Amino acid sequence: MTGYLKKTDQEVARLIAAEAKRQQETINLIASENIASLAVREALGSALTNKYSEGYAGKRYYAGNAVIDEIEELAKARARKLFGLGKNWSVNVQPLSGSPANMAVYFALLKPGDKFLAMSLSSGGHLTHGDPASFSGKLFSPIHYGVGKDGRIDYEEVRRLAVREKPKLVLAGFTAYPRTIDFKKFGEIAREVGAYFMVDMAHIAGLVAAGVHPSPFPYADVVTTTTHKSLRGPRGAIIFSRIDRMLKSGESGEKEMTIARAINRAVFPGLQGGPHDNQTAAIAVCLKEAMKPAFKTYGKQIVENAAALAAALQKHGFHIVSGGTDNHLLLVDLTDKNISGLEAQTRLEEAGIITSRTMIPYDPRPPFDPSGIRLGTPAVTTRGMKEKEMVQIAHLIHEALTGKGNSAIRKRVNLLCSRFPAEN
Ligand SMILES: *Cc1c(COP(=O)(O)O)cnc(C)c1O
């Protein structure tokens, strides 16, 4: 099923080919990106995109959903198996992406104006964790914790804030935090103040699946994740919620509703119409891939590559926030390099190295042009790169940021990339 676009729409065909070429010829260090398998992409481009299936399996609004029901149930069963979950967890694979997944959880568990405790965007949280620019900061009352000067979460400070502010929900799980998250401690803090404990494992889901980051499931009431980051699936999201936890009383018209039921109702009909069934099938495919032993090796290599990249950059004199990394990403502090995060991002892009600028803890510069860059290893690891290539990449980054002549570096980047196919 290929070649059709070239015949009917050369403009779009050309643009898609150009983007595929860009992906092949550049080193992708965006920590939230990955390269989905061709099997995942085949499911995404399938006949499933034609179907409307509002509702849930066995309770659809339109006819003709027998196969879709099987696909959705298969995706849910695989998600449960991958993360080792029992019958006390409900799984929802319909959220269109990570942000709407988080929105559904808030709408189910909070009322407008309710307090929740989460990490600030500037310290590594996500927009949907209560940033003023996001619905989450406009509709609710977020209380934010940050990181200490050492770039790490101060759990005593989180506890102090929770005790003082009595939030209804405590949220852990970040976008730019390079260290292992102590879910047990967060869970204890949430229990102590009677709050729901929500984990947003969007960035680290693949690491949790591979067993190289501790699982949040023993402690959380709700876990959200995207499927397109370290998990290596299609763009999409999953919400896991406990069916043995009840909504706090007075929360809804009906009493005695489980949080799982409230969350599933918030997804549909609360926020969304028809699910993207092609995406659901592609999620099922990625979950099967993630259950293979090779995925454990992959997850381990992601972490080893990030550590190798951090160490090699340190050797070149770069300051790494918190002194290194435990996971798939690292934050390079450029304050002593006489270059801003935006300039660095631009210069690296000219050299064929794709990164994202980031705030560093206590950043003296504004968010649009902050002092750091964030680097992640899921995509390069998918291409088969290992520690040796990380040392090479660190060297290329050093040259691109300190020297001139990025076109010469670009040639070396292209050469390195040519040995590691992006599509597989
Ligand atoms: C990426 C991310 C999201 C949002 O996902 P989208 O699919 O971009 O909406 C939410 N939370 C965290 C922690 C993320 O890293």
Phi and psi dihedrals of 303, rounded to 5?
Answer: -70, -40
CATH (domain of 315): 3.90.1150.10
Together in a domain, 279 and 319: no
Look up the domain containing 129 and give its range. Answer: 44-290
Domain assignment present for residue 3? The answer is: no
Together in a domain, 300 and 247: no
Together in a domain, 74 and 159: yes
Residue 265 CA to residue 262 CA, distance in Å, equals: 5
Pocket test for ligand 1, best of 136, 223, 225, 226 (most atoms within 8 A of CB): 226
Binding site membership of 97 for ligand 1 (Cβ less than 6 Å):
yes
Burial class (CB in 10 A: 0-12, 13-18, 19+), 414: middle
Together in a domain, 213 and 94: yes
Largest CA distance in the chain: 67
Domain assignment present for residue 21? The answer is: no
Is 270 annotated as a binding-site member? no
Together in a domain, 224 and 361: no
Binding site membership of 119 for ligand 1 (Cβ less than 6 Å):
no
Together in a domain, 219 and 315: no
Together in a domain, 225 and 335: no
Pocket test for ligand 1, best of 93, 106, 126 (most atoms within 8 A of CB): 126
The residue nearest atom 3 of ligand 1, judged by CA position, is 98
* pLDDT tens track, the chain, 424 positions: 688 999 999 999 999 999 999 999 999 999 999 999 999 999 999 999 999 999 999 999 999 999 999 999 999 999 999 999 999 999 999 999 999 999 999 999 999 999 999 999 999 999 999 999 999 999 999 999 999 999 999 999 999 999 999 999 999 999 999 999 999 999 999 999 999 999 999 999 999 999 999 999 999 999 999 999 999 999 999 999 999 999 986 555 556 899 999 999 999 999 999 999 999 999 999 999 999 999 999 999 999 999 999 999 999 999 999 999 999 999 999 999 999 999 999 999 999 999 999 999 999 999 899 999 999 999 999 999 999 999 999 999 999 999 866 889 999 999 999 999 998 7
pTM, two decimals, is 0.97
Together in a domain, 127 and 259: yes
Fill in the DSSP letter of residue 246.
B
Ligand 1 mean position, distance from CA 199 (Å):
12
Binding site membership of 341 for ligand 1 (Cβ less than 6 Å):
no
Q: Which atom of ligand 1 is nearest to the CA of 235?
A: 7
Together in a domain, 306 and 247: no
Together in a domain, 276 and 351: no
Together in a domain, 212 and 342: no
CATH (domain of 257): 3.40.640.10
Together in a domain, 57 and 95: yes
